[in-house]
Amino acid sequence: MVESAVASAARGRPDNPIAETGIRAEISGHGLSSRLGRNRTDVGHHALDPVVVAGPWVAGAAGTAYLLRRVARHRRR
């Protein structure tokens, strides 16, 4: 997954998590009402969806911030 994100960014066409995950359709297409009150087999996984979708992006941002802080501290010495 990391490789594909890096490759798409290098090509100048980075991933767009808002459009590619269907978040826009969930908001405009009554996503919450279609998920609640039905006999869906994936109801138990709904809480994990934000973690699975946003997790890699948050981890990447945290890693980048960590590296930038280390470089800044190293330059001050």
Tell me: the pLDDT tens digits for 17-70? Answer: 666 666 676 677 676 666 776 677 777 777 787 888 788 888 999 999 999 999
To the question of pTM greater than 0.75 for the whole model, the response is no
**Nearest-angstrom CA–CA distance, 6 and 12:** 10
Query: What's the confidence (pLDDT) of residue 2?
Result: 65
Tell me how many domains the chain contains: 1
58-64: long-range pairs with CB below 8 Å, 24+ = 60/2, 60/5
Domain interval for residue 26: 2-76
